[in-house]
Amino acid sequence: MKKQIGSALPPILAAVLAAGIAGSVSAKGLQPVPKMTDQEMKDAAFIYFDRCSGCHGALRKGATGPNITPEKTRKKTLAKLEKIIYEGTDGGMPGWGKDGFLTKEQTKLMARFVQNDPPEPPQWNLKDMKKSWKVHVPVDKRPTKPPKSNWQNYFGVIQRDAGKVSIVDGDTKKILSTVDSGFAVHILRSSASGRYMYAIGRDGRASMVDLWADPPNLVAEVRIAIDARSLDTSKYKGFEDKYVVAGGYWPPHYAILDGDTLEPLKVVSTIGYTYDTGDFHPEPRVASIVASHTAPEWILNVKETGIVLLVDYSRMDTGTVTETMINAERFLHDGGWDSTKRYFLVAANARDTISVIDTLERKLVKNIVTGTKPHPGRGANWVDPEFGKVWATVHLGEGLVSIISTDPTKDYAWTVVREWKLDGNSLFIKTHPKSKHVYCDNTINKNKSNVLTVFSIDNPTAPPKELTFEKKVVHMEYNKAGDEVWVSLWDKDGELVIIDDKTLKVKHRIKGLDNPTGKFNVYNTMYDIY
C-alpha cells in the first residue's frame, strides 16, 4: 500500500514536508546548484549587498528588479546569467562588467551565487544600535550661535564611493570640511532648523554634521540597520530638530533617534502583509521618508507591501507612536511633496504608478499610471502656462517626463496633463520656484549619460536644450537663491559643475571629488523646495 505522506503528522509539519516535495518535483529541468567555498560565498555576499540587494532585495524576492531566487535563476544556464550580469538588460539593469564594476571572475562568481540559496541576513536590534552609537561632540560642547556666513546656502555633497560627505559654502564655493559617513553613502537631509545635516549610508550608518561648527563637523553617528536608504527629521512646530527617523532595507524596520545625539530610542518592524492580496512578506523595506510640516508625522513608504505609513511621533516622550496605514500600491520607492506640501506623490516604480497621498484627509487620492518605472527623486513642481500647478517625474524604464496636475480644483487634477520625450532612461528631475527651466539627467541612458536635458516652463512645446559635459552627469540641486544649478560629474575623479540657471552657462567647477552623486542645499532641503 502506498504510504500517505503527512497523514499522521501535525498540520504545520505536513505542510512544510509537502512544500518540500512539491519543490523537488518543480526542480525538474532546473540547473544544478553550483558548489561554492565559504570564502566564495562571503565574497559574493559582499558584492551582492553592495550592488544587487537594493533592487532585488536581501532575500532576492525582487522589487525594482525582478525576483532572482534560485527557482528562477536555475532556469537559466550559468552562461546566460553571466551575460545578464556583465552586459545588463534593456529593463534598466546596469552592465556591471561592461561598466567596469565587476571583473569577468566576479561576474562568474555572482552567477553561481544567485543559483545558490541566499544566506540568512543577520538581525539588528535596538541593543546593537545602542552599541554602535557614538557622540563625538556632546550637545553642551557645540556652538550656541550660527556662524556669520550665509550657512543656509551651504551644500552637503555626497562622495559616494569614498563614504564621505563634504560641506561646501554655496556663496564662496569652498569645501569647508569633509567628514566620514556610511558605506556608499546615499542621501542627506536637513533638520527643521537647518543646523544639522544627516546622512545615511547603505550600511545603515546614520551620521550627523553640525553646520554651526567652524568648520562643520561630525557630532554623532549610529548604525540603525544592516542595509538602509533613507532618513528624515521631525519638522512640525514644537518638535523641530527633536527626532530623526531612519528606515531599514534590512532588517525591514524603522528606528526613531534623538535629534541632537542620534541616541536610538525605538525600533518598529514593517514586516507584514501586502496591501492587495494580503500575502505575508518577510522583507517589506522602508523606501522614501518625508517629514510633514503640517502634523507631527513622518510619511514612510513601505516598498513591498505597498502601504504608506503616517507615523505620529507627538507622544514619543512616552515611547509611543501611532501608525495610520494607507493602502497605495506595491513597490513604493521615491517621491516628493506637491507645492502646497499637503499631497505626497510617490512612485510605485515596478507598477508604473504614482500614488498620491492626501496627508490632511489621510487617504490615497489616486493611483496614476505613468510610463515605465517612474523615478522622480523628489520630483519637480512648477506652474504650467496651460494647466497651472503641476508636479513631474522621469522614468527608469523609458525616456519620458510625465507631468501631473496637482491642482485639486481642476477637473483634470491628478491626471497626466502633458508629456515630454527624452532620448532614453533618466534618474532625476529638478526645478525651483524662481526658475524658468526644468532639468532632467540622462545618467542611465548609455548613449547620453553626459547630457542634461533642459525644458522651458514658459514654452513647454519648444524642443529642449542640451548641456553636454565631459563625464556622466547625475542629480541636480539649486542654490538658496534659485539662480544656480549644481550637478555632479559622477566619476572617481569627479567634480561639481555650477550652472547659471538664466544663461545655462557653466559658472564654476569644484574638482577633486570621489564619485559625487547627490547634493543638498540646506535651505531647499529644510523647506522641501523642489
Catalytic residue IDs:
52, 55-56, 93, 333, 375
- Nearby residues of 244 by Cβ (< 8 Å), 6 or more positions away: 198, 206, 208, 231, 232, 233, 234, 256, 257, 258, 259, 262
Contact 308, 300 (CB under 8 A): yes
Q: Is 306 in the site for ligand DHE (CB under 6 A)?
A: no
Which residue is at the shortest CB distance from ligand DHE? 54
**Comparison of 47 and 368: residue with beta carbon closer to ligand DHE:** 47
Nearer to ligand DHE, 102 or 413 (CB): 102
The rounded distance, in Å, linking the Cα atoms of 296 and 233 is 11
Work out whether 399 is an interface residue with ligand DHE (CB under 6 A): no
To the nearest 5 percent, what fractions of the chain are helix, strand and coil?
Answer: 15, 35, 45
Which of 517, 521, 524, 528 touches ligand DHE (CB under 6 A)? 517
165-184 residues in contact with ligand DHE (CB under 6 A) are 184
516 touching ligand DHE, by CB under 6 A: no
Q: Does 230 bind ligand DHE (CB under 6 A)?
A: yes
Q: Which is nearer to ligand DHE, 133 or 478 (CB)?
A: 478
Q: Does 187 bind ligand DHE (CB under 6 A)?
A: yes
Return the residues of window 321-340 that contact ligand DHE according to CB under 6 A.
333-334
As measured in angstroms, the least distance from the Cβ of 223 to ligand DHE is 17
Site for ligand DHE in 238-277 (CB under 6 A): none
Q: How many CB atoms lie within 10 A of CB 515?
A: 21
Query: How many other CB atoms are found less than 10 A from the CB of residue 502?
Result: 11
For residues 247 and 264, which CB has a smaller minimum distance to ligand DHE in the complex? 247
- Which sign does the torsion angle of CA 216, 217, 223, 228 carry? positive
Task: Confirm or reject binding of residue 377 to ligand DHE (CB under 6 A).
Answer: yes
Q: Is 193 helix (H, G, I), strand (E, B) or coil?
A: coil
Crossing angle for the helix pair 38-47 and 104-114, to the nearest 10 degrees = 100
Question: Which of 76, 378, 437, 480 forms a contact with ligand DHE (CB under 6 A)?
Answer: 378
User: How far is it, in rounded angstroms, from Cα 203 to Cα 149?
Assistant: 33
Per CB under 6 A, the list member of 44, 47, 55, 350 interacting with ligand DHE is: 55
String of DSSP letters for 352-417: TEEEEEETTTTEEEEEEE-SSSB--TT-EEEEETTTEEEEEE-BSSSSEEEEEE--TTSTTTTSEE
Reported as type and span, the H/E element at residue 70 is helix 70-73
Site string for ligand DHE, 445-484 (x = CB under 6 A): -----------------------------xx---------
Which one-letter amino acid corresponds to residue 288?
Answer: S
100: left (phi over 0), alpha (psi -120 to 50) or beta: left
Binding ligand DHE by CB under 6 A: which of 57, 58, 60, 64? 64
Distance of closest approach, residue 32 Cβ to ligand DHE, in angstroms:
29
- CB atoms closer than 10 angstroms to residue 367: 16
**Grid cell in block for residue 286:** 522602508
Contact 347, 371 (CB under 8 A): no
Reduced to 3 states (helix: H, G, I; strand: E, B; else coil), residue 106 is helix
Question: Residues touching ligand DHE: how many (CB under 6 A)?
Answer: 21
Measure the CA–CA gap between 255 and 127, rounded to whole angstroms: 12
Nearer to ligand DHE, 74 or 518 (CB): 518
| Phi, psi (deg, nearest 5) at residue 466 | -125, 135
The radius of gyration computed from the CA coordinates of the chain, to the nearest angstrom, equals: 23
Closest approach of ligand DHE to the CB of residue 378, in Å? 4
288 binds ligand DHE (CB under 6 A): yes
Which CB atom, from 153 or from 449, has the smaller least distance to ligand DHE? 449
Q: Is 56 in the site for ligand DHE (CB under 6 A)?
A: no
Which is closer to ligand DHE, CB of 54 or CB of 374? 54
Distances (CA, A) of 29 to 19, 75, 116, 167, 311: 18, 7, 16, 55, 47
Place of cell 562571503: 42
| Shortest CB 410 distance to ligand DHE, Å | 27
Q: Which is nearer to ligand DHE, 108 or 202 (CB)?
A: 202
Of 97-105, 287-295, 358-366, 409-417, the window that binds ligand DHE (rule: CB under 6 A) is 287-295
Instruction: Provide, rounded to whole angstroms, the least separation between the CB of residue 334 and ligand DHE.
Output: 4
Among 44, 162, 257, 287, binds ligand DHE (CB under 6 A): 287
164 interacts with ligand DHE by CB under 6 A = no
Distance CA 412, CA 140 (A): 54
Residues 420-439 within binding reach of ligand DHE (CB under 6 A): 427
Least Cβ distance, residue 377 to ligand DHE (angstroms): 4
Name the β-bridge partners of 175: 168
- DSSP label at 294? S
Binding residues (CB under 6 A) for ligand DHE: these are 54-55, 64, 160, 184, 186-187, 229-230, 287-289, 333-334, 377-378, 427, 474-475, 517-518
